[in-house]
Amino acid sequence: MGGRRRTQTTTQTSSQVQQVSEQRSGVQELKVVRIPIEELPNTTRATIEKLKSAGIYSVQHLSMFTVDELVMYDVTPETAARLLRKARALLKSEPRVFSLKEFSNYKSSLPRVRIHVNAIDNMLGGGLEPRAIYEFAGEFGAGKTQLCHQLAVTVQLSYDRGGVAGAALYIDTEGTFTPSRIKSIAERFGLDLDYVFSNIYVTQPKTVDDLLECIRTDVVRYVEDHNVKLIIVDSLIGLFRAEYPGRENLALRQQRLNYALDWLSRVAKTYNIFVVITNQVMDVPMGFGSQKPAGGNIMAHGATHRFLLYKVGRESGLRAMEVLDSPALPEGLTVKFRITERGLEDV
């Protein structure tokens, strides 16, 4: 995909940085160490209160903002630049150059979250990787929401079972989240229902403004305070298509969609968490098969790994997942799976 970087940079860390890595069988166990915004050195109480009024309660959260964004909260450009320099210095999060060997070792040490469909997990190299955005597009009934429900459960599994012992934040923009499906999937994995239900947080934004505010502030709070390791947005595009119909609104829609994707990427890379978004599809009469994901180039460049889900033949529950674009997988690679009462399973 032209224009999109194919590798991700890593940053040098210390004991106070946002992630502490503990080795477990060669895989990093990542934990959030939140630094309260009050610990930002040489910062006035008035400035601290301005940051809090903007929903910024930690140094990590502050470090993700830009100068222009902070200026919107009545902070001068000079003060904003100074705050960001102090935050990044405290976190030791300035980018550094790695050798390929170091970078490869770092990538291979990151934990993955398995979907527990062998065909899919094998295709993905062992499951979903952190610090990336996974897009699953498809028509109604293709299995996107079912996949999201399953991941909301499997992320809670222990490291040795293919999870990361973390919670999930499920941003449900289409009103399709179904607790009974979570119950069925949790029972399949032998998990305590009260535990599983207590570790899935659900929010249902009604407007694009609600969604952007959720991504910019609520997501960070739940990552820092509630052990959230997986962010699910089901779907990302829906509210944008509803609020900005017609070609006359396309530029604004794409601009705001890009902002949402950019913030999801910032959070994923700052906290080493997993991000999954679903997408709707558009009918294409000629040239691209029958369907393509909505969102245009903004969505194409914003997602790290892109997949299309679709029904297979007339057999009930049979589905396929096809690679649309990925820095690690060949385009067109396709695997099949089945949707049952127990969730997504191998054929």
DSSP state letters, 254-295: HHHHHHHHHHHHHHHHHHT-EEEEEE-EEE-SSSS-SEEESS
CA angle 99, 103, 106 (to 5 degrees): 140
CATH of 111-345, one of 1.10.150.120, 3.40.50.300, 2.40.50.100, 1.10.3720.10: 3.40.50.300
Residue pair 75/50 in contact by the 8 Å Cβ criterion: yes
Strand order from edge to edge, sheet including 274-279: 200-203, 167-172, 228-234, 274-279, 133-138, 305-311, 318-325, 334-340, 343-345
What pLDDT does residue 184 have? 98
- Residue 149 is predicted with a pLDDT of 99
In sequence order, which residues have a C-beta less than 8 Å from that of residue 73 and are 6 or more positions away?
50, 51, 53, 54
Q: What is the DSSP string of 177-189?
A: --HHHHHHHHHHT
Please name the amino acid found at residue 7: T
Please report, for the chain, the start and end positions of each structural domain, with discontinuous segments joined by +: 10-110, 111-345
Walk along the chain (347 residues) and give the pLDDT tens digit of each residue.
434 333 333 333 333 333 444 444 566 777 888 999 999 999 999 999 999 999 999 999 999 999 999 999 999 999 999 999 999 999 987 777 889 999 999 888 999 999 999 999 999 999 999 999 999 999 999 999 999 999 999 999 999 999 999 999 999 999 999 999 999 999 999 999 999 999 999 999 999 999 999 999 999 999 999 999 999 999 999 999 999 999 999 999 999 999 999 999 999 999 999 999 999 998 876 655 578 999 999 999 999 999 999 999 887 899 999 999 999 999 999 999 999 999 999 99
**Contact (CB, 8 A) for 311 and 322:** no
Residue with tokens 């298509």: 241
Q: Which residue has the tokens 């959720």?
A: 214
Alpha helices in the chain (DSSP H): 45-53, 59-63, 67-71, 77-91, 100-109, 118-123, 144-154, 179-188, 193-198, 208-213, 219-225, 237-243, 250-271, 296-302
Instruction: Answer yes or no: are the C-beta atoms of 295 and 288 closer than 8 Å.
Output: no
For 167-199, b/e burial (b = at least 16 CB within 10 A) is: bbbbbbbeebbeeebbebbbebbebeeeebeeb
Topology of the domain comprising 10-110: DNA polymerase; domain 1 (1.10.150)
- CA-to-CA distance for 304 and 265, rounded, in angstroms? 9
Task: Specify the pLDDT at position 8.
Answer: 37
